[in-house]
A and B are shown apart, each in its own frame.
Chain A
Amino acid sequence: MTAPLPTLLVIPTGIGCSIGGYAGDGLPVARLLAAASSCVITHPNVMNGAALYWSDSRIHYVEGSGLDRFAAGRLALRPVRSQRIGLLFDAGIEPELQRRHLQVADGCRATLGLDIGPVVSTEVALDVSLEQGPSGASWGRLGQPEALLRAGERLKKAGATAIAVVSRFPEDPESESLAAYRSGGGVDVLAGAEAVISHLLCEQLGIPCAHAPALSPLPLNPELDPRAAGEELGTTFLPCVLVGLSRAPDLLAWPSSGNAATPELLRPDDVGAVVAPAGALGGSAVLSCAERGVPVIAVENPCVLQVSAAALGLEVLPATNYTDAAGLVMALREGVAPRSLIRPLSILAPNQEA
Chain B
Amino acid sequence: MKPSLANTKSETAAMKLVALELRLTRKPGSLLSQVEVALADQGRPLRWAITAVSGEELQIEAVVVQESP
Contacts and interface: CB of A to CB of B under 8 A. Distances in A.
A associates with B: yes
Interface of A: 12, 64-65, 127, 131-135, 137, 139, 141-146, 149, 192, 195-196, 199-200, 203, 280, 282-284, 287-288, 291, 305-307, 311-313
| Interface of chain B, main secondary structure | strand
B51 to A, nearest CB: 4
B31 interface: yes
Contacts, number: 105
B33 to A, nearest CB: 9
A135 B2 CA distance: 9
A247 to B, nearest CB: 25
A148 to B, nearest CB: 10
Contacts of B32: 284, 287-288, 291
A134 B61 contact: yes
A282 B50 contact: yes
A150 to B, nearest CB: 11
- Point out which of A132, A139, A196, A280 has the most chain B C-beta atoms below 10 A from its C-beta: A139
A305 B52 contact: yes
A61 B3 CA distance: 33
Contact of B53 (A137, A141, A283, A311): A311
Interface string B26-53: 0000111001000000000011111111
Contacts of A195: 47
B1 A133 contact: yes
Interface of B: 1-3, 5, 10, 12-17, 19, 21, 30-32, 35, 46-53, 58-59, 61, 63, 65
Contacts of A196: 17, 46-47, 63
B50 A134 contact: no
Contact of A139 (B12, B15, B31, B61): B61
Contact of B50 (A132, A144, A203, A312): A312
B52 to A, nearest CB: 6
B46 to A, nearest CB: 5
Contacts of A149: 15
Contact of B30 (A132, A134, A291, A307): A291
Nearest to A135: B51
A304 B3 CA distance: 16
B17 A312 contact: no
Given A139-B47, A141-B63, 15 more contacts: A134-B59, A135-B51, A139-B61, A144-B12, A145-B13, A145-B65, A280-B49, A282-B53, A287-B31, A288-B32, A305-B49, A307-B51, A307-B52, A311-B53, A312-B50
